[in-house]
Structure 1
């Protein structure tokens, strides 16, 4: 019986390698309601309704996010965490979970046209 499981696991691993897939456990689902609260406190001053009062073209609309390669939760989380140019870093102010929540919220809003 154990040999059978080893073969199944070997086949699954080989399949993942052939198709260049990886198995990564998913993080706990982001809390977008919390993300909205965080956004309103920390981000809305510069990014009201997905705009950008500092640099108009660097807004949070889906078209701009795609243009600048920021159209994923991970990319948004990286810039929220580390900042860039005029964008402040929030790694000292927000927890990793809060950054995930707000990043997920931003992408969700961008995909919905910031309604």
Structure 2
């Protein structure tokens, strides 16, 4: 019985990663395009040309975004939607899906060290 449960769990895990990761990869790729079109003029390579310490590195995002440690992507989504200080709000410029995609891209790049 244990062997059957183990095999079922293994099959489920393989199935999950087989069908979810390509969708996530597409989301990140689209996020990269959105980032290049709307964000890279100020945040090229994850930096910040206006306020040098407020980069898109994991450390800076943890410091400057509320709740980044609890839910990084949601914290980035909030920032992109609402802006703050020199950063404009994008909620009227990008669709909800585009905001999710660019937030996922920024999160992944920050996790990987840009």
- Tell me if both proteins adopt one fold, taking TM over 0.5 as the criterion: yes
CA–CA distance in structure 1, aligned partners of residues 97 and 65 of structure 2: 22
Q: Is the 8 A contact 2:58 2:110 kept in 1?
A: yes
Residue 101 (structure 1) aligns with: 101
CA–CA distance in structure 2, aligned partners of residues 95 and 77 of structure 1: 12
CA–CA distance in structure 2, aligned partners of residues 112 and 79 of structure 1: 20
Which segments of 5 or more consecutive residues in structure 1 lack a partner in the other structure?
1-27
Report the aligned-residue RMSD: 1.6
CA–CA distance in structure 1, aligned partners of residues 53 and 78 of structure 2: 19
Residue 50 (structure 2) aligns with: 54
Q: Is the 8 A contact 2:65 2:79 kept in 1?
A: no
CA–CA distance in structure 2, aligned partners of residues 32 and 68 of structure 1: 23
Residues 32-56 of structure 1, C-alpha deviations (whole Å, 9 max, x = no match): 1100000000000000010000000
Residue 4 (structure 1) aligns with: none
2:41 equivalent among 18, 38, 45: 45
More helix by share: 2
- Count of matched residue positions in the alignment of Structure 1 and Structure 2: 87
CA–CA distance in structure 2, aligned partners of residues 35 and 113 of structure 1: 17
TM (normalized to structure 2)? 0.72
CA–CA distance in structure 2, aligned partners of residues 41 and 103 of structure 1: 14
Residues 4-23 of structure 1 correspond to what in structure 2 (within 5 A)?
none
Which segments of 5 or more consecutive residues in structure 2 lack a partner in the other structure?
1-22
Instruction: Tell me which structure has the larger Cα radius of gyration.
Output: 1
